[in-house]
Chains A and B, each alone.
Chain A
Amino acid sequence: MEGEWLPLVWLLLIAFAIFMYVLLDGFVLGIGILFQFAPADHDRDTMMMSVAPIWDGNETWLVLGVGGLLAVFPIAYAIVLPALYLPFIFMLLGLIFRGIAFEFRFKADKSRRIWDRSFQIGSIVAAFFQGVVLGAFVRGFEIEDGAFVGSTLDWLTPFSFVVGVSLVLGYALLGSTWLIIKAPGELEDWARRTSVRLLFAVLAAIAAISLWVAFLNETIQARWFSLPNFYVLSQVPLLTLVTGFLLWYATRKGYRAAPFALTMVLFTLGYLGLAISLWPNIVPHEISYIDAAAHPDTQLFVLIGAIITLPAIFFYTTYSYYVFRGKVGRDLSY
């Protein structure tokens, strides 16, 4: 087939958009997941202010991932969304409660507790169901003639439950290491202690899921454990261990930005592992990214737009992070 570079470029771009979402909204959701566990009420103010100016842009990567999937891999979009109907709805409802908390909490007096809860529970629900979506996605769907034919609750499995819990822990680690960068004084110490605890839980979760995935499906098992693949691919778990150790060390030794950066590396390795397991399918085990791709003209037209706008998006996103750099001040009214 000619012109296969176009779907490949798009596969990488959409994978990138979704990954940007996971990292960027991941730490915002992580702040939400940890919200009520913060030592004091004014710490919650700090936590929320550390993400309030940038959360909206971060969440937009989700819309790009989903919108891109619709435009460029409509067949995948039209299978995955109905198949995971309820988890997506629950995730959206979680995102609603999380999102409005940013606006309402600052304006509430007596009812502030409600929005504290809304922020945390919304974040946990959204994160958990994103994990459920991921777990069910990896397991694959019942498909006939290019349409989902399974039942409403197919996604409800022990595996997707465990992935859901794991993602909540992973996002919490992103949140706590972000807080190391942004939080002053005692809250930073708390974030460091929390990060170390979460790190062990996250590493355990990664190990459990990695093994479980390998035995879910024979294709995945063959990919990882056949020779010579094994020599190359076994570097991924090894690197994960090394990263985990460095993260532990950096957190304990008072490095400021390194724990967050290393958590992002940890996520990258997990994502890479996932990509290795599923390649080249965009609907796992069934439909490859080439077969799911839209008309070449459609792909090209959106690609032109992406090439023009993405550099600008990077530029002003970076500027916005630059404007709000540094620790959140004790005087929170900037």
Chain B
Amino acid sequence: MDAVLLARIQFAFTVTFHILFPAFTIGLASWLAMLEFLWLRTGKPAYESLYRFWVKIFAVSFGLGVVSGIVMSFQFGTNWSAFTEASANVIGPLLGYEVLTAFFLEATFLGIMLFGLGRVPRAVHFFATCMVAFGTLLSAFWILSANSWMHTPAGYVYENGVFYPDSWLAIIFNPSFPYRLAHMVAAAYLTTCFIVAGVAATYLLQGRFPRRAGLTLRLAVIFASIVVPLQIVIGDLHGLNTQEHQPIKVAAMEGNWESRTNAPLLLFAIPDQEAERNHLEIGIPGLASFILQHDFDGRIAGLTDVPADERPPVAWVFFSFRVMVGLGLVMLFAAWAGLYHLWRGTLEQTRWLLKLFRWSTPAGLVALLAGWFVTEIGRQPYLIYGMMRTSEGISPVPGASVGTSLALFVLVYGVVFGAGLYYVLKLIKHGPIEVERPAKEGAATVRRPLSVPADTIEDPT
């Protein structure tokens, strides 16, 4: 394998692994801020125990996000130095602002959030939680701006192979940025929402913590029933924006080889990159044209509009897109079925629905990853769309080094992720209740600093 492919696999692997944690923690931080707000306002122990429960899961996820995120800040140089030299004048400041406005804020207030209860006034602690939540959103703002610029570069002057800034506003608010940001933030919130709902549904199925789990599930269902349809609308707008700026990506998403009117919406097909056609097509006539052009006779672009070496790997984009949309529909069904049963007062007793929520625990996360696969693979072979090919961006590093480091990352991330998942599952199994465990022999037990003193443990109902 050549160095370019290895470098791409390495970036894809490290960023896919990394994005799991920010995606989850963006939503979780806001969820925690809401729980703490309700706890402050009502003083109800249910909110306190839910806060103390989810904050531990947050700590593990955030930690994994931090360690895998630092790797990303080096990847631009270790593996993509030619890209960096060409684009740093424009993209560098966006990353710089992310560190200055978001990373310090998150990292510093995280300490107070995790260890500060009892050391700082309650209001200050709530402020710290809000700052962490705000930091995660600011971070998303800057990194998505940088990413969007690579899809829809704007506000620059291009001279001798280097991009120079022309208008910072045009750079930051480049054409695809508002859509991508809205789509990603909603996706992150839904990721968290479905994980939270899935955990609550699992407790209800097991008959554990019925009051707290029921409360959690009700909140999650209300949130999802509003945000899932909203996300579908945002996604549609994002798709129209993509059609305007990256029509070939949309053609790959639709599996459409020839530019045509009355294009069908393919439910299934096996795209064949070599033969420039699909096998086993099952489609609804005209629907793709209608969705993209709001007219059944609308013309949509075809992959053969451009030479073969300017097309993305179609099957990846095509199937990832279907995974994302399919899961979106599952989530919509779950959310609205949940809302119906909530209204009927039967949410917590409807076992098939609880099972659906349990199985949908990773739905948001998988859909989010699939969405990123669509957009990132879909812009290939370009690194900066239309301007710089991925193969032109890599560092002068031999394939052996890239391969070695890739193997190490796979190994280490496997171990680290496995352990992280194990501890998160352990925390979930333990549940939103605090038990004072007896100190072990010979070792002072360090309880997680947020452990509730024994006397505040209420009856777990």
Contact = CB atoms under 8 A, between A and B. Distances in A.
Interface of A: 41-42, 45, 48-49, 52-54, 56-57, 59-60, 62-64, 66-68, 70-72, 74-75, 77-82, 85-86, 88-89, 92-93, 95-97, 99-100, 102-104, 106-109, 146-149, 152, 294-295, 297-298, 301-302, 305-306, 309-310, 313, 316-317, 320, 323-324, 332-334
Nearest to B111: A53
8 contacts: A45-B446, A52-B111, A56-B111, A71-B93, A106-B449, A148-B396, A313-B104, A316-B105
A100 B418 CA distance: 12
Contacts of B97: 302, 305
Nearest to A84: B78
Given A74-B92, A89-B408, A306-B100, A333 B446 contact: yes
B74 interface: yes
Interface in B78-129: 78, 81-82, 84-85, 88-90, 92-93, 95-101, 103-105, 107-112, 114-120
B381 to A, nearest CB: 22
Interface stretch (B46-54, B58-66, B345-353, B362-370): B58-66
B71 A302 contact: no
A32 B398 CA distance: 33
Contact of B89 (A49, A53, A66, A295): A295
A9 to B, nearest CB: 14
Contact of B116 (A48, A53, A107): A53
A74 B84 contact: yes
A71 B92 contact: yes
Given A92-B71, A96-B71, A81 B103 contact: no
Interface stretch (B215-223, B298-306, B399-407): B399-407
A149 B446 CA distance: 51
A305 B401 contact: no
Given A41-B442, A96-B68, A107 B423 contact: yes
Contact of A333 (B76, B440, B451): B451
Contacts of A104: 60, 419-420, 423
Given A63-B69, A71-B88, A104-B60, 18 more contacts: A49-B446, A56-B107, A62-B70, A67-B96, A67-B98, A70-B76, A78-B82, A78-B395, A82-B81, A85-B405, A88-B74, A100-B419, A106-B449, A301-B93, A313-B100, A316-B105, A333-B451, A334-B119
A234 B99 CA distance: 38
A317 B420 CA distance: 28
Interface string B263-307: 000000000000000000000000000000000000000000000
B230 to A, nearest CB: 32
B73 interface: yes
A333 B449 contact: yes
Contacts of B114: 52-53
Given A49-B446, A96-B412, A333-B447, A77 B404 contact: no
A259 to B, nearest CB: 24
B84 to A, nearest CB: 5
Interface of B: 56, 59-60, 63-64, 66-71, 73-74, 76-78, 81-82, 84-85, 88-90, 92-93, 95-101, 103-105, 107-112, 114-120, 164-165, 168, 395-398, 400-401, 404-405, 408-409, 412, 416, 419-420, 423, 426-427, 440, 442-444, 446-449, 451
A95 B401 contact: no
Nearest to A295: B89
Contacts of A305: 93, 96-97, 100-101
A67 B63 contact: no
Looking at B117, B120, B395, which has the most chain A CB atoms within 10 Å of its CB?
A: B395
A103 B448 CA distance: 10
Given A71-B93, A78-B81, A320-B111, A334 B118 contact: yes
Nearest to A61: B104
A332 B446 contact: yes
Given A74-B85, A74-B89, A305-B101, A81 B423 contact: no
A95 B400 contact: no
B449 A332 contact: yes
A323 B93 contact: no
A85 B395 contact: yes
Nearest to A115: B419
B432 to A, nearest CB: 15
B104 A317 contact: yes
A332 B444 contact: yes
A56 B88 CA distance: 26
A99 B396 contact: no
Contacts of A85: 78, 395, 397, 401, 405
A77 B84 contact: yes
Which of A45, A78, A316 counts the most chain B CB atoms within 10 A?
A: A78
B423 A52 contact: no
Contact of A57 (B107, B412, B419): B107
Nearest to A105: B446
Contacts of B109: 316, 320
A60 B45 CA distance: 35
Nearest to B452: A333
A64 B98 CA distance: 9
Contact of B81 (A81, A92, A316): A81
B398 A152 contact: yes
A134 to B, nearest CB: 16
A294 B88 contact: yes
B93 A310 contact: no
B165 A295 contact: yes
Contacts of B89: 74, 294-295, 297-298
A206 to B, nearest CB: 28
Contact of B448 (A74, A92, A107, A309): A107
Contacts of A62: 70
Contact of B449 (A97, A109, A298, A334): A334
A100 B96 contact: no
Contacts of A72: 92, 96
Contacts of A78: 77, 81-82, 84-85, 88, 395
A57 B93 contact: no
Contacts of A53: 111-112, 114-116
B395 A82 contact: yes
A295 B73 CA distance: 21
Given A79-B81, A96-B416, A63 B398 contact: no
Given A85-B401, A297-B165, A60 B77 contact: no
Contacts of B112: 53, 320, 323
A56 B66 contact: yes
Contact of A67 (B95, B118, B426, B427): B95
A63 B92 contact: no
Contacts of A71: 88, 92-93, 95-96
A50 to B, nearest CB: 11
A86 to B, nearest CB: 6
B119 A41 contact: no
A324 B444 contact: no
Contacts of B71: 92, 96
Contact of B108 (A41, A66, A317): A317
